[in-house]
Chains A and B, each alone.
Chain A
Amino acid sequence: MTTAAAIHMQNILFAYQPAKTILQIDDFSIPAGGRVFLHGPSGSGKTTLLSLISGILVAQQGIVTVLGEHLAKLSPSARDRLRGSQIGYIFQGFNLIPYLTVAENIALPCELHDTRRARISEPTIAKEVTRLARRLDIDTHLNKPVTQLSTGQQQRVAIARALIGSPALVIADEPTSSLDTDRRDAFLALLTEAIEEARKRDNADTTLLFVSHDRSLATHFDHIFSLSDINTASQPQEVNA
């Protein structure tokens, strides 16, 4: 891979308990600006991998470089800062803070990180939230509590929150598993379109890392990896994806 890799992992060894290696990755790179599909069945260590990339966990061995930063060399709070300001994260389900409104949920990364606030294209955060919400067709729900939204709407709010302030890397961890098949495709189309637009708008090299056990989704992506190919550790069963 080139030096313009968004994520680069080398000689990684990770175990929650000694002698139970969960991840062993010799060399894995994700190109900057790529739309990457990572296939991984349940229990293949997906969430652990994503935790390593987002700097929540640190590998016992090896080098993880994310957006040019050598994670192990950063302090924990610097890793938190990098994650908050450069990575948009979409969970499988229950993506939202229950006690905040839709608009407050979307705006949260900008409230926390100046770098993300600085990158919004509208003059104020509120306008940027409205613009994103309109694009994702949730603008009529902005002042509602998130509990009143359908699952599909909630996942769209999650996209808006992941994309606001144009982070360089968007990670989606099984974001479609709580949606039915029709909505799954619509969601995926919306996600890739929104990222495409963000790229054009901000002239950025936004990388999308999409993780799923569902191979049928892979057609939407430029690069396809399988975790079982990357991870050479034998898979323990109790790890939850």
Chain B
Amino acid sequence: MILLRLAFKSLRARALTTTLTVFSIALSMMLLVGVDRLRDAAQAGFSGTLSKTDLIVGARGGGLPLLLSSVFHIGNASNNISWESYQHFAHHPAVAWTIPISMGDSYHGYRVIATDDNFYAHYKYRKDKSLKIVRGHTPEEIFDVALGAEVASRLHLSLGQHIILAHGIESKSIINHDTTPFAVVGILAPTATPVDRAVYITLLGDEAMHFGWTDGTPPAIGEAVPKLDPSKLKVDEITCFLLGTKSRISTLYLQREINTYKPETLTAIIPAFTLQELWGLLDYADTALSLVCVAVLVVGLLAMLIALYTALNERRREIAILRAIGLHARQIFILFLIESTLIATVGTAVGIAAVYVLLFLLRTTVENYFGLPIALVGLSTRVEYYALATIVAGALLGTVPAFRAYRNSLADGLNAQ
């Protein structure tokens, strides 16, 4: 106990060095734990891009491309699904709801997604969050468009404005749908998912843009452009659809049924699995980040070692006095060991406390702006391991100056000047 008190007072007497050393370890710890929490948040945010959807159905193709194109708006679907097939599964007894999606056009590089009201009713992200319209309403008329939050804010669009959509998904498109301007009727609340980066029209709106087109090309110059007759519009094909089952148990057999559907070759994927697969691909970046954090921690601990070691010379006198009043050389060793362990422990505690306070204060901001839902869990097992490893490493490194002090105390005896 007396040794603990001595160690504490000696550290307090060297307040500046001690504070800086504690600070450097605390910073390393903050970084390590912060990255750990953010990694969890990133994974939660990523797998929460789409939730409650049991299957995504598209034309025959790979699972990953289907997920990427339907949810992340990356790449193109290889093929379309006929309206009949869609209707077949939309009315399937095991199916609770479906969200049809038609893609292929863009607006300033943002995807145009043609869908219906089911999208606003059933699309869920981050467990059970629904889409919300902050201003206006969902598209109802043929030439209504709703904007994702990012589209609205980046392009400074507001309700009532008319926009011309571009054909194709390239940001510099050759063909614009000049004749069919869309009116902005709604703006969606930010979700920090790809939903923010798209504009939404009705399925018939999509058809209206391409009215009179044949095989994906507009009527040639000079060719008679048919007058748009809304009553003649009908949906022939969609790109893919999202599907929710009445009972999740039926997901697997429904998936098999879709995959073996005779009239048309289809692919159904379980988004949760495919999202996980995709996350696995990103894992190496995460490992690299963790390694950097560990390196920072090592630097922090080395700073402590240097601080304690350089103080040794000026403390020889102190050691001689302690020896004179009857401290064993062994106790000198323990005294120095306690000092390093105290520094490492306090640094670790301060670092963890600071990062948790910071995450607590910033969690709503981080979630809204970056889509990283930070779970307010207690110390996770991994953080506990980090803390323990830091303290143990601090104590182990502390044996270096401690052993030196021990040797000094034996060599100098009462003779240190």
List the interface of chain A (C-beta within 8 A of B).
47, 50-51, 54, 56-57, 76-77, 80-81, 83-85, 89, 91, 94-100, 104, 108-109, 111-113, 161, 173, 240
Name B326's closest neighbour in chain A (CB-CB). Answer: A84
B127 at the interface (CB under 8 A from A): no
Asked if A96 and B321 sit within 8 Å, CB to CB, the answer is yes
User: A80-B323, A84-B326, A112-B2 are known contacts; what are 13 more A-B pairs with Cβ within 8 Å?
Assistant: A47-B415, A51-B415, A54-B414, A56-B323, A91-B324, A91-B414, A94-B317, A97-B6, A99-B13, A100-B6, A104-B9, A111-B2, A161-B325
Bound Cα distance from A85 to B325, whole angstroms = 8
Q: Are A85 and B326 in contact (CB under 8 A)?
A: yes
> Does B65 reach chain A (CB closer than 8 Å)?
no
**Contact among A83, A100, A111 with B324 in the assembled complex (CB-CB below 8 Å):** A83
Q: A47-B415, A56-B414, A57-B413 are in contact. Are A113 and B13 (CB under 8 A)?
A: no
**Can you list 5 A-B pairs with a CB-CB distance of less than 8 A?**
A83-B326, A97-B6, A99-B12, A240-B415, A240-B417
Contacts of A56 on B, CB cut-off 8 Å?
323, 413-414
Q: Kindly state the separation between the CA atoms of A99 and B417 in the bound complex, as whole angstroms.
A: 17
* Contact partners of B330 in chain A: CB under 8 A: 77
Please classify the interface of chain B as helix (H, G, I), strand (E, B), loop, or mixed, using the class held by over half of its residues: helix
In the complex the two chains form, what is the Cα distance from A111 to B326 in whole Å?
11
User: B329: CB under 8 A from chain A?
Assistant: yes
B324 contacts across to A, CB distance below 8 A: 54, 83, 89, 91
Residues of A within 8 A of B2 (CB): 111-112
Which B residue sits closest to A90, measured CB to CB? B324
Residues of B within 8 A of A104 (CB): 9
Asked if B327 is at the interface (CB within 8 A of a chain A CB), the reply is yes
B10 at the interface (CB under 8 A from A): yes
Q: Measured between alpha carbons, how far is A94 from B414 in the docked complex, in Å? A: 12
Q: Are A80 and B414 in contact (CB under 8 A)?
A: no
Tell me if B302 counts as interface (CB < 8 A to partner A): no
**Nearest-CB distance from B327 to chain A (Å)?**
7
Task: Judge whether B318 is part of the interface by a CB distance below 8 angstroms.
Answer: yes
Assess the A113–B326 pair: CB atoms within 8 A.
yes
For the complex of A and B, 7 pairs with smallest distance between CB atoms: A84-B326, A99-B13, A56-B413, A89-B324, A80-B328, A51-B413, A99-B9
| Contact among B9, B10, B326, B415 for A109, CB-based, below 8 A | B326
User: Across the two chains, which residue of chain B brings its CB closest to A85?
Assistant: B326
Please tell me if the beta carbons of A89 and B414 are within 8 angstroms of each other in the complex.
yes
User: Knowing A77-B330, A80-B327, A89-B324 touch, does A98 contact B13 (C-beta < 8 A)?
Assistant: yes
Q: Is B322 an interface residue (CB 8 A)?
A: yes
> Across the interface, do A108 and B414 meet the contact criterion of CB distance under 8 Å?
no
B415 touching A112, Cβ below 8 Å:
no
Choose from B10, B14, B328, B414 the contact partner of A77 (Cβ within 8 Å): B328
B326 touches A95 (CB 8 A): no
Which residues of A are found within 8 Å of B322, using beta-carbon distances? 97
A51 to B325, CA, bound (A): 13
| Distance of A99 Cα from B322 Cα, bound (Å) | 12
Chain B residues near A240: list those with CB within 8 A.
415, 417
Measured CB to CB, the nearest residue on chain A to B324 is A89
Contact B325 A84 (CB under 8 A): yes
Chain B nearest Cβ from A85, distance in angstroms: 6
Could you give, for residues 2-23 of chain B, a 1 whenever the CB lies within 8 Å of some chain A CB and a 0 otherwise?
1000100110111000000000
Give the chain A neighbours of B321 by CB distance below 8 A: 91, 94-97
Within the complex, what minimum Cβ distance (angstroms) separates A145 from chain B?
A: 8
Contacts of A95 in B (CB 8 A): 321
Distance (whole angstroms) from the CB of A97 to the closest CB of chain B = 6
Q: A54-B324, A97-B321, A111-B2 are in contact. Are A76 and B329 (CB under 8 A)?
A: yes
A22 vs B184: C-alpha distance when bound (angstroms): 100
A54 and B24 CA atoms in complex are apart in Å by 42
**Which B residues are CB-close (under 8 A) to A112?**
2, 325-327
Residues in B with CB closer than 8 Å to A85 are 326
What is the bound-complex CA distance between A238 and B12, given in angstroms? 38
Asked whether A80 and B326 contact (CB < 8 A) given A56-B414, A100-B9, the answer is yes
Instruction: Report the nearest B residue to A241, measured CB to CB.
Output: B415
Chain B residues lying within 8 Å of A91, measured Cβ to Cβ, are: 320-321, 324, 414
Contacts of A161 in B (CB 8 A): 325
- Report the minimal beta-carbon distance from A89 to chain B, rounded to whole angstroms: 4
**Bound CA–CA A97/B335 (angstroms):** 14
Closest to B318 in A: A97
Specify the chain B residue showing the minimal Cβ separation from A100. B9
With the chains together, A54 CA to B417 CA distance in Å? 18
For B2, B12, B413, the residue with the greatest tally of chain A CB atoms inside 10 Å of its CB is: B413
User: CA–CA, A99 to B321, complex, Å?
Assistant: 13
Min CB distance B359 to A, Å, is 36
Cα–Cα, bound, A95→B329 (Å): 19
Complexed CA–CA distance, A91 and B14 (Å)? 24
Measured CA separation A81–B330 after assembly (Å) = 12
Asked, given contacts A99-B9, A99-B13, A111-B2, whether A51 binds B414 with beta carbons under 8 Å apart, the answer is yes
B329 to chain A, nearest CB (A): 7
Contacts of B13 in A (CB 8 A): 98-99
